[in-house]
Structure 1
Amino acid sequence: MRATVLHGPGDIRLEQRPDPTITAPTDAVVRIAASCVCGSDLWPYRGIESISQPIPMGHEYVGVVDAVGSDVRKIKPGQFVVGSFFASDNTCEICRAGYQSSCLQREYMGNLGAQAELLRVPLADGTLVATPEVPDEDLIPSLLMASDVLGTGWFGAASADIRPGKSVVVVGDGAVGLFAVLAARRFGAERIIVMSRHADRQKLALAHGATEVVTERGDDGVARIRDLTDGLGVHSAVEAVGTQESMLQAIRSTRPSGHVGFVGAPHGVTLSGHELFYSHVHLHGGPAPVRRFLPELIDLIFSRSIDPSKIVDLTLPLDQVAEAYSAMHERRAVKAVLLP
């Protein structure tokens, strides 16, 4: 099969690799209908995360089940499925609590490489969710978003305890931040402020339900949020970047008693215990348990109650994966979808 491999910073290649096979009785093999480039894929692509050898790439995927292991009971060949970026059994005590991304048997799907023609999915019954029927072609990009960035935005909003009638700030205007805006609107927030300096992303945020845009960053951004909220700060904040500046911006924009949901993969983030102690802010987040939200998100997409595909602004064949990475890296695209 053809599969994407990162050899070093900026060096992304499409190569011939062995077709995946069933290696455990709980596995499935999925023929990929669509995958995409995630913002977190850019960390190793940019050299911010170092790699010691070539690695497969991609952890967001939808497709048709090609084969299943002997112990797979719920997932059947021929079904169209959406999978989370962490494989999970969905039965252990941690999964039952709703934290499948910390499953006792979890396996990161990026290590297997979803930007390919075929993908082996461990723990198939717990990881994959079948759609009600084979989706119309126009729904496939939206279902693909549910595999990670939509579910991650949803988790950010849930972690921020967004309530009807309350105020929210979303720090980050990438795919996750934009979907946190969408989730905040679904959760009933009255005021949704997005922090963004990019006109195209501001337009998407407003289309998803943002009520205001703040362009300032750092201390200036915090001051602006305080000005907009009579000096109090917002009730909830979603941090969707993963840098020191974005994390502090989210915390300092939130009022005492408020909640911060952080879902940006952290890079160089260090927090002062003294500041946290006196902030009286609730802080919760981590790798999103996307599997928790998949049934709800699939239903919303199939009923056309939400349209996550709005953020997809670049669709390329898999053999142009290098251009997809380049476009994401250079901010020429918000979300690049790859079609095998």
Structure 2
Amino acid sequence: MRGVIMHAPGDVRVEERPDPVIEEPTDAVIRIVAACVCGSDLWPYRGVDEPQDQKMGHEYVGLVEQIGDAVETVKPGDFVVGSFVISDGTCPICSAGYQSRCVNASFIDGTVGTQAEFARIPFADGTLVATPEYPEEDLIPSLLAASDVFGTGWFAADAAEAGPGKTVAVVGDGAVGLMGVLAAKQMGAERIIVMSRHADRQALAREFGATDIVEERGSEGVVRIRELTDGLGAHSVIEAVGTQESMMQAIRATRPGGHIGYVGVSHNVELPGDRLFMGLVHLHGGPAPVRRYLPELINLVLERKVDPGKVFTKQLPLADAAEAYRLMDRREEVKVLLWP
């Protein structure tokens, strides 16, 4: 089969890889119907993380081809949406709703890689969710988004306690930040402020439910958010970048007693204990437990109540994966879908 390998920063290739096979009774082998490039894939692409012949891809939807003897919840022929973290679904951490930190957790990236034609999914019962039937073609991008980016944005909004009567501020106008806007809107937020300097992303943010755009950054951006909130700051803040600057911007934009949901993959972020202490700021985040939310998000998509697939501003064949990375690295596209 063909699959994407990142050999070194900036070196993305589509190569022949061995076809996956059932190795454990809890495995499923799926044929990938759609995959995509994630913003987190750009960390190794830019050399911030060091890739070494890494199998790429962790967002996916597909058709079940084979299952192991112990698999009970999916069967061959099922259309499935999978979490970007493998989880057994039965451990105490999974039972508490934090499947992304399952005692048997592993990330799809590197171990599996779903920017490919086929994939072996360990712990299929705990990782995959089947749809009632094969979805209509126009819904596939939105179901793909549920696999990670929409689920991560949903977790961010949930962790930030977005809800009716709340003002939500979103730090980061990438795909996850935009999905945080959509999630906050679905959760009933009264006002959604997005920090963005890019006209195309501002337009998407407004389409997803943003009410205000703040183009200023750093201290100026924080001042602007406070001006929009009677000097208090936002009730709920979504941090969707993962840098020291973005985290500090989120903390300073939160009102006393407010909540931050942080889902940007942290790189060299140091938390200021004194500011958190005096600000009475709640912090909750990390790798999103997407599997917790998948049934709800799939239903929202199938009932056409949300259209997160709009976050894919470009679609390409798998053979053009290197171009997909280039476009996202240069911020020419928000997110690129790959058709195997």
Q: TM-score range by the shorter chain?
A: over 0.9
Percent identity between the aligned chains?
A: 64
TM-score by length of 1: 0.99
C-alpha separation in 1, matches of 2:197 and 2:109: 30
Alignment of 1:126-275 (within 5 A): 126-275=126-275
Paired residue for 1:61?
Answer: 60
TM-score by length of 2: 0.99
Paired residue for 2:70?
Answer: 71
C-alpha separation in 2, matches of 1:161 and 1:290: 17
Please list the CA deviations of residues 228-270 of structure 1 after superposition, one character each: whole Å capped at 9, or x if unmatched: 1111101010000101111111111000010000000001211
TM-superposed deviation, 1:165 = 1.1
How many residues align? The count is 339
Q: Secondary structure at the match of 1:50?
A: coil
> Does 1:95 find its partner at 2:101?
no
Partners of 1:107 and 1:122 within 8 A in 2: no
Paired residue for 1:30?
Answer: 30
Paired residue for 1:290?
Answer: 290
Q: Secondary structure at the match of 2:97?
A: coil
C-alpha separation in 2, matches of 1:281 and 1:227: 19
Partners of 1:87 and 1:109 within 8 A in 2: yes
Partners of 1:64 and 1:79 within 8 A in 2: yes
The gaps in structure 2 that reach 5 residues or longer are none
Q: Secondary structure at the match of 2:237?
A: strand
Q: Which amino acid aligns with 2:75?
A: K
Q: Secondary structure at the match of 2:334?
A: coil
Paired residue for 2:79?
Answer: 80
Please list the CA deviations of residues 118-172 of structure 1 after superposition, one character each: whole Å capped at 9, or x if unmatched: 0010100110000111001111110000000000000000000112011010001
C-alpha separation in 2, matches of 1:321 and 1:312: 14
TM-superposed deviation, 1:91 = 1.4
Q: Which amino acid aligns with 2:206?
A: L
C-alpha separation in 1, matches of 2:274 and 2:257: 16
Q: Secondary structure at the match of 1:264?
A: coil
Q: Which amino acid aligns with 2:84?
A: F
Give the RMSD, CA atoms, in angstroms: 0.7
The gaps in structure 1 that reach 5 residues or longer are none
C-alpha separation in 2, matches of 1:323 and 1:295: 33
Greater than 3 Å deviation, 4+ residue runs: none
Partners of 1:22 and 1:29 within 8 A in 2: yes
TM-superposed deviation, 1:94 = 0.8
> Does 1:8 find its partner at 2:8?
yes
C-alpha separation in 1, matches of 2:54 and 2:49: 12
Q: Which amino acid aligns with 2:60?
A: Y
Paired residue for 1:330?
Answer: 330
Paired residue for 2:281?
Answer: 281
C-alpha separation in 2, matches of 1:137 and 1:287: 29
TM-superposed deviation, 1:18 = 0.3
Q: Which amino acid aligns with 1:24?
A: E
C-alpha separation in 2, matches of 1:70 and 1:9: 40
Q: Which amino acid aligns with 2:268?
A: G
C-alpha separation in 2, matches of 1:275 and 1:235: 17
TM-superposed deviation, 1:67 = 0.4
Q: Secondary structure at the match of 1:13?
A: strand
